[in-house]
Amino acid sequence: MGKHKLENTLNQIKATGKPLFIPYMMAGDGGIDQINERINFLAECGASAIELGIPFSDPVADGPVIQDAGLRALQNGTTLKLVLDEVRKQKESRSIPIILMTYINPIWNYGYEQFAKDCDAAGVDGIIIPDIPMEEEEDIAAQLSANGIAFIRLAAMTSPDERLKKIAGMSEGFLYAVSVSGTTGERAQHEENTLNYLEKLTKLSSVPVLAGFGISNPDQAKYLAAYCDGVIVGSKIVHLFAEEKQTEIRELIGETIK
């Protein structure tokens, strides 16, 4: 079952003392036929799991680099169904966990039950939905749970402690700690309150805590990973793929996890 595969994989890596590293890639940027190729490449680079973004016309959590990649992917004709069909092709041969990052609207259009079943059939292990609050997630959470797929929750720095405790208690697979206030994108530095927040979440959470948003180099990644279990890197990976700088992606992941 996906829920357990994701958590088990991350805990096994965590037990080695190395930081977790989850790269984000935009599905369909560079073409649908590039999806599995890029997944395999990131796995070879040492990624712990892969976050696969589904392009959407109104991506409220994304900064300019990921928005542009989403537009390119949409222009390539990328749809949620096509991405799942593509990912399904390597279900049997793939060992790295796959996490989909999508907004609630495409899932609602797809149909919650069908979406969860098709994700399971494609070998998807976890789902991130940044625009659905805890109070409104019941229907989709039930379908994901019925299909053994981890529902990864996001925690924000602006949330009060009581809410963070609830979110930490509900998250499956890992807890996504949004380490900046604002959208995704590269940042020059992270402030002290971010570090306190990551330490707090790590104490509250029974699943690994990964910091995401605003991480663009190995120094930043290692710095933040010292206060939680690892990092998620999106905009930088998307940018490097768009410029065909695979060597730099390999270095970024390799430097962080060594």
Per annotation, catalytic residue among 7, 29, 62, 118: 62
Q: Residue 26: beta bridge partners? A: 53
pTM: 0.94
Q: Is the pLDDT of residue 111 over 90?
A: yes
**CATH number, domain containing residue 96:** 3.20.20.70
pLDDT at residue 96, rounded to an integer: 97
For residues 128-145, give the mean pLDDT: 95
Q: What is the pLDDT of residues 176-231, one digit of tens each?
A: 999 876 555 555 556 778 899 999 999 999 999 999 988 889 998 999 999 999 99
Q: What pLDDT is stored for residue 156 in this prediction?
A: 92
Question: Roughly what angle, to the nearest 10 degrees, separates helices 35-44 and 246-257?
Answer: 40
For residue 66, give every residue at least 6 positions away whose Cβ sits within 8 Å of its Cβ, in sequence order, or none: 24, 26, 53, 59, 184, 234, 235, 238
CA 101 vs CA 1, 33, 59, 197, 239: distances in Å: 19, 19, 11, 23, 17
Q: How confident is the model at residue 2 (pLDDT cuts 50, 70, 90)?
A: low
Kindly state the percentage of the chain with pLDDT values over 70.
94
Q: Tell me: the pLDDT tens digits for 24-38?
A: 999 999 999 999 999
What is the number of domains present in the chain? 1
Catalytic option among 33, 37, 44, 51: 51
Q: How many CA atoms lie within 13 A of 57 on its CB side?
A: 4
What is the edge-to-edge ordering of all strands in the sheet holding 98-101?
150-152, 126-128, 98-101, 50-53, 20-26, 230-233, 209-212, 175-178, 154-156
Is 229 known to be catalytic?
no
Alpha carbon distance 186, 228 (integer Å): 19
Q: What is the mean pLDDT of the chain?
A: 92
Count CA within 13 A, CB hemisphere, residue 24: 32
> Two tokens at 221?
């990644």
Considering only residues 213 and 121, tell me which one the structure prediction assigns the higher pLDDT: 121
Q: Which domain holds residue 214?
A: 2-257
Please confirm, yes or no, whether 62 is among the known catalytic residues. yes
